[in-house]
Amino acid sequence: MPSSVANESQFKRFQSNPSRVSCPSRSPSDSPDSPSAHTPNCDAVEEALAELQLQSQDLRSKELLPNGNGLVSGKGRRSGWHVKSSKLALNTHNRIRNIVEALKIKPNPEKPMIPLSIGDPTTFGNLKAADETMKAVLHSLECGKFNGYAHTQGHEAARQAVAKYSAHQRPDGEIQSDEVVLCSGCSSALEYCILALADRGQNVLIPRPGFCLYHTLAEGLDIEVRYYDLLPDQQWRADLVQLESLIDENTAALLINNPSNPCGSVFDEKHLRQLIAICERHYLPIIADEIYEHFVFPGSKHLAVSSLTTEVPVLSCGGLTKRFLVPGWRMGWIIIHDRKQRLGEAVRGLKNMCGRILGSNTIIQGALPEILTKTPQSYFDGVIDVLHSNASLAYKMLKQVQGLNPVMPNGAMYMMIGVSIERFPEFKDDTHFVQELVNEQSVFCLPGSCFEYPGYVRIVLTVPGLMIEEACARMAEFCERHYKKDSRDIIEDGLLDENLGF
């Protein structure tokens, strides 16, 4: 506890010695037996409150404020309830929810449901937080020191722990604790970054396919999102020419998500350098959603984009959510990489954002130093093993299915599967395909439309191995049943038959 704060007994002594306090005279309406009249507790807050109360009584007597029944009389005043939603609230949409809720889903009662749609890796019970991770929270709780507010950016010790844990993001120098901002999950980290850099009418470049939260965060505030394309036949690298063509004087940031949700792709060093070069040419800061950093399969390497540049400022967003398998704990962070002070007042703006909700969960902050140092590498390796083996199995099985075109991921927890929808004439689009797949086979994937990428579906790789095997077998059965060769194939087959007939 800071030494400048009086302890309890000092405070009691202070209370019993009223003469030491000069107290402005109270208004006559203060009843003599109200506690404030006895206690010379003249702190400004109480005064202000009392004053407000008086003013509002005054206003109410003149019918300037709503009275008990909420109706107000008087000129130019409301005559009834007219509560409206703010524009921001009305313009905030969760695309996944909207699309999924519009599906007409009746799973086949004869087949147990396999939801390959759920992004929460803890759902199936096969992936659990490490004991070390959970014990750290117990210790944080038991010590009783973390029940109060922290600094809005987070407790110093917690920020130091994140700075150390993230040192690889800046191999040529140390990350300072004041360059770390703790947030309520990675989502809030992303929100702070977008809001700190972009104003209404400006635009942010985001990936397509991409995580729909970026759109959700920006649209309500009239910040335009411009989609740059990721190319499935180039391991989901960005279309650099198209990306660069989107940039104008109102572009506030380039957002990259690496490794990617929904693609499971991992950018190599060369590609990251190409992206950095574009940002350098256009003086564009990067917001890096690196929540899946370290989530890469054997043979791939994750590089933090900030580790490759000192020129371009990078706000790297991360957190405990995915790697430590604790999405409900809501602990994320921003690391400010601004080696040449190019973000200017935006850094102050970013820190101001923390004042909006007065900081993140302090019990988890208290546990962070232990979580980040004690969770063993073998635990992380075990999780990667599960994801990688599920990815390999699903890829192998679905690759053989006519009409499907899985793209093997190199990291994260997802796989995108192309659906040649023209080969399934019964289905209008990816959403319809997904709906009928649930209704026939009780396998639920997310349509690519949820990620601005129709023609694909996304599956999660966090389910138990047997479940993914069963799900892929059912998808194969579904596709076999509905796959139609295109008309040319059919005509050719027909001609062949005729030829044979001769």
Ligand X SMILES: *Cc1c(COP(=O)(O)O)cnc(C)c1O
Stretch that binds ligand X, among 65-73, 273-281, 319-327, 389-397 (CB under 6 A): 319-327
One residue of 121, 185, 207, 448 binding ligand X per CB under 6 A: 185
The strand pair at 404-407 and 414-419 is best described as antiparallel
Residue 236 binds to ligand X (criterion: CB under 6 A): no
Torsion from C-alpha of 458, 464, 470, 472, nearest 10 degrees: 30
150 DSSP assignment: P
CA distance 497 to 90: 60
Query: Smallest distance, Å, CB 407 to ligand X?
Result: 17
Place of tokens 């008087």: 74
Could you tell me the smallest distance in angstroms from the CB atom of residue 259 to ligand X?
Answer: 9
Helix or strand run (H / E) with residue 485 = none
Q: Contact with ligand X (CB under 6 A): which of 177, 257, 258, 431?
A: 257
Closest CB 421 distance from ligand X, rounded Å: 26
Q: Which amino acid is at 182?
A: L
DSSP 437-448: HHHHH-EE-EEG
In the complex with ligand X, the residue whose CB is nearer, 404 or 413, is 413
Provide the 10 A C-beta neighbour count for residue 211.
24
Contact 444, 438 (CB under 8 A): yes
> Rounded CA gap, 306 and 314, in Å?
6
**To the nearest whole angstrom, how small is the minimum distance from the Cβ of residue 328 to ligand X?**
9
By CB under 6 A, is residue 319 in contact with ligand X? Answer: yes
Question: Min. distance of Cβ 447 from ligand X in angstroms?
Answer: 17
- What are residue 206's DSSP bridge partners? 227
Q: What tokens does 83 get?
A: 């509560």
* Strand partners of residue 317: 289, 334
Three-class HEC string of 77-117: CCCCCCCCCCHHHHCCCCHHHHHHHHCCCCCCCCCCCEECC
Q: Taking the complex as a whole, how short is the minimal distance between the CB of residue 394 and ligand X, in angstroms? A: 19
* Residues 125/257, Cβ–Cβ less than 8 Å: no
Assigned token pair, 115: 């939801």
Beta carbon nearer to ligand X, 203 or 321: 321
Report CA 203 to chain centroid distance, whole Å: 19
Minimum CB–partner distance for residue 451 and ligand X (Å): 10
Among 60-68, 179-187, 400-408, 479-487, which window interacts with ligand X (CB under 6 A)? 179-187
Residue 360 C-beta: closest distance to ligand X, Å: 10
Under the criterion CB under 6 A, does residue 321 sit at the interface with ligand X? yes
Question: 443 - beta bridge partners?
Answer: 114
- Is 186 one of the binding residues for ligand X (CB under 6 A)? yes
- Binding segment (CB under 6 A) for ligand X, from list 74-82, 301-309, 318-326, 446-454: 318-326
- Judged by CB under 6 A, the stretch of 81-89, 180-188, 339-347, 396-404 that binds ligand X is 180-188
Query: Which span (22-30, 59-67, 316-324, 416-424) binds ligand X, by CB under 6 A?
Result: 316-324
Residue 78: CB minimum distance to ligand X, A: 39
**Mask 330-369, x = binds ligand X (CB under 6 A)?**
--x-------------------------------------
Number of helices and strands (H, E) in the chain? 17, 14
Instruction: Using CB under 6 A, pick the residue from 191, 244, 289, 338 that binds ligand X.
Output: 289
CB nearer ligand X, residue 260 or residue 441:
260
Count, residues near ligand X per rule CB under 6 A: 13
- Ranked by CB distance to ligand X, the top (closest) residue is 185
Q: Which of 146, 165, 192, 211 binds ligand X (CB under 6 A)?
A: 211
Q: How far is the CB of 162 from ligand X (least distance, A)?
A: 14
For 370, half-sphere exposure in the C-beta direction (CA atoms, 13 angstrom radius) is: 17
Burial code of 297-308, b = ≥16 C-beta within 10 A, e = fewer?
beebebbbbbbb
Of residues 34-63, which lie at the interface with ligand X (CB under 6 A)?
Answer: none
Q: In the complex, which residues of this chain contact ligand X (CB under 6 A)? A: 185-187, 211, 257, 261, 289, 291, 319, 321-322, 327, 332
